[in-house]
Amino acid sequence: MREPVLRGAPRLKADVVAWASNSDGELVPWAVVEVKRGSIAPLAAVPTLNAFRENLGTADHYAVVNGDWYKADRALQALERVDGPTPPPHGADGIIRDADLAPPVGHRLGESAVERITEAYLLSLMSREALWDVRRRDVAALSRHRRWSEHASHPVIAEAVTGLLGARIEGDILDPFCGSGAFLWSVADRAAQGGTSVRLHGRDINEQAVEIARTVGDSAGVSVDIRVGNALMDDLLMVDAVVSAPPFGLRLYEPHQLLNGSTTVEMEPAAVDVALRHLKPEGRAVLHLMGSFTSRKSVGQYRAFLAENYRIAAVIGCPPGAVPGTNVASTLLVLDNAAPGKTFAGQAGEDWATQLLPGGALLEAAMAHIDGDLDPRP
């Protein structure tokens, strides 16, 4: 690879990195080559060669000065003139198991066709587990990318949404506004950890977001069905759980009829309605909504309908920063297709990311009420 950018050494630039198998049959960066021209000593290449060895564990290190090859000793303190690179002792067949050896997503966006082909080949040599890790990190990175932030969710929110599903991580799980699929991939990870079987379903109106989600889903290790579509109009299957972050602040072109018989042109109540319509009995929906959903007068009648007909298990407020690309407050809403009951109400503070991660105080308190035996708050 010429001038590669790798996750394990994102700030390092070598002229050439060559790959080969190690003694375990794992494909790794094996040799680094620095090319110099003019009246320069081969030792001038040592700082770069040493940096790659420290970061990626490369075995062979070369300087090519005006076409002449020099190989460094194991201590990287001297270079000896050689005819060319030494063939790797274990050959060049193997599989990449380290996700840190993949190029970062920021490098792949907008790069040349040759670089994309090279990187695609590198990714094709990765184990499924490593490729899944790579693609999961890329989805997380999209939340920080201006072009894609509206189709991605903050990784901590994705973890919290999955955590709030509790024991419902099993069977068919739907995200009707899936974007790049962050919530579904978090579900896949949690299902793998718990040894449960899930079938993931997603819809999104944005074709590029669906293409990204499908690419990630290919490495998920579970059944994944992601399609382009409009969840407000499409026929969707009945599922065991719904997770979603519908578009914030969107107004619909046409009114959507809600379960209580009223209509709305606001996305949030329409999205909640879609989730409930497709939940099996005792199913659960965890939705990330605008914070104003809990207080907006235009949604008051529908909120009352929800409280009278479903279990509003939890309402958790999140401060600005939890929604990529915006500075608005948001709400995590947990709804069960079950008889009404008491609601856990919580508000995350400035350390919301800590509070909502697995083991975080707010998440643990919410789950103690949602699926536990502790006395809930009124």
- Position 314 in a domain: yes
| 118 and 152 inside one domain | no
- Position 7 in a domain: no
Tell me what pLDDT residue 143 has.
62
CB atoms within 10 A of CB 114: 9
pLDDT above 50 (res 109): no
Given a contact cutoff of 8 angstroms between Cβ atoms, the answer to whether 152 and 142 are in contact is yes
Radius of gyration of the chain (CA): 26
Cα–Cα nearest to 163, from 309, 359, 376: 359
- Position 158 in a domain: yes
pLDDT above 60 (res 205): yes
Given a contact cutoff of 8 angstroms between Cβ atoms, the answer to whether 239 and 255 are in contact is no
pLDDT above 70 (res 151): no
How much of the chain exceeds pLDDT 90, in percent?
65
| 317 and 246 inside one domain | yes
- Position 140 in a domain: no
Tell me what pLDDT residue 2 has.
82
Over residues 109-119, the mean pLDDT reads: 56
Range of the domain at 65: 16-126
| 355 and 239 inside one domain | yes
- Position 377 in a domain: no
Mean residue pLDDT of the chain comes to: 88
Pick 106 or 291 by higher pLDDT. 291
Tell me what pLDDT residue 107 has.
44
For residue range 26-57, list pLDDT tens digits in order. Answer: 999 999 999 999 988 999 999 989 988 998 88
- Position 142 in a domain: no
| 107 and 184 inside one domain | no
Over residues 232-236, the mean pLDDT reads: 93
DSSP letter, residue 76 = S
- Position 134 in a domain: no
| 173 and 297 inside one domain | yes
| 210 and 288 inside one domain | yes
- The Cα 363–Cα 163 span in angstroms is 8
Cα–Cα nearest to 160, from 372, 366, 358, 335: 358
Question: What are 243's two structure tokens?
Answer: 């997770």
CATH number (domain holding residue 315): 3.40.50.150
Q: Count how many domains the chain has.
A: 2
Tell me what pLDDT residue 99 has.
83
| 201 and 326 inside one domain | yes
Given a contact cutoff of 8 angstroms between Cβ atoms, the answer to whether 178 and 226 are in contact is yes
**237 CB burial (10 A radius; 0-12, 13-18, 19+):** exposed
Tell me what pLDDT residue 377 has.
40
- Position 131 in a domain: no
Alpha-helical regions (H) of 57-112: 105-108
